Amino acid sequence: MAYSLAERRILVTGGNGFLGSHLCQWLRDAGCAQVHAPRSRDCDLRDGQQIDQLLRDFEPQVVIHLAAVVGGIGANRRNPGRYFYENALMGIQLIEACRRQQVEKFVGLATICSYPKHTPVPFREDELWSGYPEETNAPYGLAKKMLLFQAQAYRQQYGMNAITLFPVNLYGPRDNFDPDSSHVIPALIRKFIEAREAGSDYVQVWGTGSASREFLYVEDAAEAIGLAAERYESPEPMNLGSGREITIRELADLLREFCGYCGEIRWDSSKPDGQPRRCLDVSRAAREIGFTAKTDFETGIRRTIDLETPCPVA
């Protein structure tokens, strides 16, 4: 029987961010009247005392942990220590505080970056521990993988109802278009639109274009998280994705067309491609929570471009 979220007090960390804002909207549309999404200025999750105070004040029955310090390949290369420390610290302290406060259910969001660099495609959840992650985002991926281990250990020792979800790369409206920290889709959209407006002859893109990625539209991801919070009770990790793989070269050509840019794409092979391939086995999510991505990739890209006008960061 599904666990009814509508009757619970739900705390969403990172609830004002890209994914979090869509998840909070999904929860409210699903009839959840008590959804709390504090901003980082109101509760610093790196501070254990502030976490304890937050849980005492709101008394959540469900905690969905989305908050993370994250960025693209460049940001990961510049901040390996920060990305490991802050992501591990936030999650470890929050899970422990939820245990002490006897929160009914904890939903943790991990990352596809946790998978080994050369995971066989499609990525199955039981391959998570079969190797070391791709080097450029290993600190972030390893920090998140430790939270999976913590959730499983706490379930074993304390009976804590904690689940861990592994979403693939997300995209959609309200994404981060900051060129210093954005992921590939918003970064390329911004590049192509700015190049179109400036009349530039070419756009330079990192890598060779040979790497592949899978993408999940953010509204679909929000639905998947909500369904998992209601229906999933297993300690085993669960992938969330669309099941479609596309190379970065194919992606760049598609985005160039949709952004109306007619110039050349120049590939900078001196920059890293990141993980060679990414594509998930999503059969567990289909089987356990009835989730299948609804948004066609081209439709989602057009919505993202139509609803966003990336502009320089002030």
E strands in 29-86 = 35-36, 62-65
* Nearest CA-CA partner of 73 in 192, 231, 215, 179: 179
Q: Are strands 35-36 and 10-13 parallel, antiparallel or unpaired?
A: parallel
Count the Cβ atoms, other than its own, within 10 Å of residue 257: 12
Return the H-helix or E-strand segment holding 149.
Answer: helix 138-158
Q: Coil, strand or helix: which one is 134?
A: coil
Give CA 140 to chain center in angstroms: 12
DSSP 284: H
Query: Which residue's entry shows tokens 């976490």?
Result: 51
One-letter amino acid identity for 172? G
* Nearest CA-CA partner of 252 in 201, 187, 308, 307: 187
CA distances from 113 to 104, 131, 182 (A): 28, 12, 15
First to last CA, the chain: 49
Q: How many CA atoms lie within 13 A of 110 on its CB side?
A: 29
Catalytic residues: 140
